[in-house]
Structure 1
């Protein structure tokens, strides 16, 4: 199992990396999956925008883009890009702690790899419930 954290075009260092890895593994296990390799890339708005345009043909800012590289059922592999600027802005707009918002977005990417979507209201509500579960789990570890 490999969970890696990188920064591109931002000065950012994730706090509690070991705890985060344990947490992500527990989320996957709760969904009957195992992590083979996850790469979290924390980046700037502009970096993520360029990925959104190049790979998804979307000319919009976003907080997260997830690429699923999984080849085996129940074995997770993927690259998850997160805009640190967007996380900070969202935490202020939602009046939540920045670390809590970061946990929400980190888990959001993993839930996408686990097959959860968020396009419809029903899907978005289920995703939010999963994120809340993950945040509570992180606080328990």
Structure 2
């Protein structure tokens, strides 16, 4: 499978082992029979993501992620913007680790490209199951903790 996964950082946050995440996302893509994977993850703060939310979706609300999906069939193509601030706050509210919430949010954006939605209770349940499958894959394949700085 053709794979290109890039990471950009607009805040003081870095995935120390980017290749580990590329391998994980490739595994998630294989799990869903994707034929190609082209992703850019942009990590930012609440303010920057709010500006994108206003500009592109006309939503004046904080969010943890926005996925700009250009997928065609099983060729996954997307720019995914994530608020690290929101991920930290979500993790605290849910009483889970930052690492776990980061994996959930990263997989959430990717899964939207595969057609998963989160508007109805049924869709949300399907999305959560798919997120958990991706998170489990990370822990099985990588067998180590996330290292961020």
Query: What is the TM-score when the length of structure 1 is the normalising length?
Result: 0.95
* 2:7 counterpart of 1:5: yes
- Conserved in 1, the CA contact under 8 Å of 2:26 and 2:37? no
- Asked whether the equivalents of residues 4 and 40 of structure 1 are also in contact (C-alpha less than 8 Å), the reply is yes
The root-mean-square deviation of aligned C-alpha atoms, in Å, is 0.9
The yes-or-no answer on 1:90 pairing with 2:127 is no
- The alpha-carbon deviation at position 17 of structure 1 amounts to 1.4
Note if contact 2:29-2:37 (Cα within 8 Å) is conserved in structure 1: no
Q: C-alpha displacement at 1:110, in angstroms?
A: 0.3
Question: Does the Cα contact within 8 Å between 1:35 and 1:75 map onto a contact in 2?
Answer: yes
Report the count of equivalent residues.
139
TM-score by length of 2: 0.90
Counterpart for residue 137 of structure 2: 137
**Structure 2 unpaired stretches of 5+:** 142-149
Q: How do 1:1-141 and structure 2 match up within 5 A?
A: 1-8=3-10, 10-70=11-71, 72-141=72-141
Give a deviation string over 1:101-121, Cα, whole Å, max 9, x none. 100000000000111000100
Where in structure 1 are there 5+ consecutive unaligned residues?
Answer: none
CA contact 1:78–1:113 (8 Å) conserved in 2? yes
Distance 2:37 2:19 in 1: 16
